[in-house]
Structure formats: structure tokens, C-alpha cells
Amino acid sequence: GAGVSQSPSNKVTEKGKDVELRCDPISGHTALYWYRQSLGQGLEFLIYFQGNSAPDKSGLPSDRFSAERTGGSVSTLTIQRTQQEDSAVYLCASSLAGGAVYGYTFGSGTRLTVV
Amino acid sequence: GNSVTQMEGPVTLSEEAFLTINCTYTATGYPSLFWYVQYPGEGLQLLLKATKADDKGSNKGFEATYRKETTSFHLEKGSVQVSDSAVYFCALLISSGSARQLTFGSGTQLTVLP
């Protein structure tokens, strides 16, 4: 597609429920990233996928968070047993390999509210 | 480790004023440097970039020069407009080994008044 597409744009969920957030990257971009933007916390790296390599999961805050990327394209970020502190905007980005020259292209994000 | 320190906001300016948002970084190796902008209700957009020392990135009247000697990448614009009101993020990227993620500063909220 023309840009990075994320869905849903907004999600309200009850504490303890599981949620799935979807990211559709730009066609041909081999790298995909998830970030979390919390109020007053800036942008926090979560996970990075590059082609068929094992993902870099070093930013995931707990084992309740997981992500997968199927067929080198669409990615799903799953949060199990959501907590109120999970409330944030979850941003997905994609890039050509590395991203050093062209930077990343970000989606508009999914605003997650845990009540 | 790698880190980015940005001038704290919020910053409020009148239209046509001069803008500087300071950004300094700490990095092992040779980072690429970026400024991203987030307009209200939208995702982050790449504003400009520089990939090596002394490079100047520019876009939409904004400029930033990669200064290795001062480890800085300050954002400047000579005459801001109301439409420039947004949050600005400085970021660096080190491509080494398996590490590829952008490291962001905390963001600076800019409001331009008519």
C-alpha cells in the first residue's frame, strides 16, 4: 500500500482482556518495528523484525507482550491480560533494510485504553 | 548506550519567529540522525535526516546540521507558521550487528500563535 496501515485506530478494552493490534507495512519494506508512545514517556521501542531473521524482542516490557509477522508482511502485536499501564498509542513503522538512509515510515497508530 | 536529549518543551512562539530546538546525542559508533514531526492526531513523519558528520538535512524550511564535534543536531527554522504547531522528535539510528531500532528523544511540543 501507499503507507503503513494500522488497525484498529482506537481500542478500549477491559482490564484483563487480551488485545490484538495489526500493522500492514509498505509493500517491499523488509523491516518492521513496533513502538509505544505513552503520555509523558516518549517513544519506547518494543520489537523489530527484519526479513526472515529472528526478531529483536529486547524492548518488550513483559511476557504478556508478543508479536509475530506472517509471510514477511503483516504483523500482529498481542497483549495478554491487559493492565491499565498498557494504555498508550502503539505505533508501527516499516523501512527498507536498516532504515539508515530513508528513515522509517510510521503508521497513525492504535490508541489503546484499558479501563 | 545510545541516547538522545532534547530541549524540553513546550515551546510557544509567535508566527514568523525564529525556531531552535536543541538536540544532543550519545552514541557508540556513527549514527544517522533524524527529526520526525507529529501533527495533532497523526503518526510520525520524517522531517529531515543526516547520515554523516557535517551533513545538513533540510525540508519545509527546517534545517539541521550533523555536528560530530558537539554531538548535536539542532533543528532550526527562520520563520515559523501556525501550521508548524506539532511535536518534534529527534532520533538516532545505529546500524551495527542486529541493532536497527531508532532511539528517540522525549519530544518537544511547539505551538505557534497567529
* pLDDT tens digits, one per residue of B35-58: 999 998 888 899 999 999 999 999
Of A31, A42, A59, the CB nearest to B107: A42
* pLDDT over 70, % of chain B: 95
* Cα B44 to Cα A89: distance, rounded to the nearest angstrom: 12
Tell me the chain B residues in contact with residue A43 when contact means C-beta distances shorter than 8 Å: 44, 89, 102, 104, 107
Question: What separation in angstroms does the CA of B16 have from each of B13, B36, B59?
Answer: 8, 21, 17
B26 touches chain A (CB under 8 A): no
* Cα B16 to Cα B38: distance, rounded to the nearest angstrom: 20
Strand partners, B50: B33
Residues 6+ apart with CB under 8 A from B69: none
* Cα A98 to Cα A112: distance, rounded to the nearest angstrom: 28
The pLDDT, as a whole number, for residue B7 is 84
B93 touches chain A (CB under 8 A): yes
B83 touches chain A (CB under 8 A): no
Of B43, B100, B105, the CB nearest to A99: B100
Q: How far is A57 from chain B (nearest CA, A)?
A: 11
DSSP chain B: --EEEE--S-EEEETT--EEE-EEEE-SS--EEEEEEE-TTS-EEEEEEE-STT-EEEETTEEEE-BTTTTB--EEESS--GGG-EEEEEEEE--BTTB--EEE---EEEEEE-
Tell me the chain A residues in contact with residue B107 when contact means C-beta distances shorter than 8 Å: 42-43
A21 touches chain B (CB under 8 A): no
Tell me the chain A residues in contact with residue B46 when contact means C-beta distances shorter than 8 Å: 102-105
Query: Cell match 538516532: residue?
Result: B92
CB atoms within 10 A of CB B28: 10
Q: How far is B44 from chain A (nearest CA, A)?
A: 6
The pLDDT, as a whole number, for residue B23 is 97
Name the nearest CA neighbour of B33 among B108, B109, B95, B84: B95
Q: Are B43 and A109 a contacting pair at CB < 8 A?
A: yes
Residue B104 has pLDDT above 80, yes or no: yes
Residue A1 has pLDDT above 70, yes or no: no
Residue B34 has pLDDT above 70, yes or no: yes
Say which DSSP state A26 is in. Answer: -
Model confidence over A48-100: pLDDT tens digits?
998 888 898 989 999 999 999 988 799 999 999 999 999 999 999 998 876 66
Query: Cell match 522509517: residue?
Result: A104
Q: How far is A53 from chain B (nearest CA, A)?
A: 9
Single-letter amino acid, residue A25: P
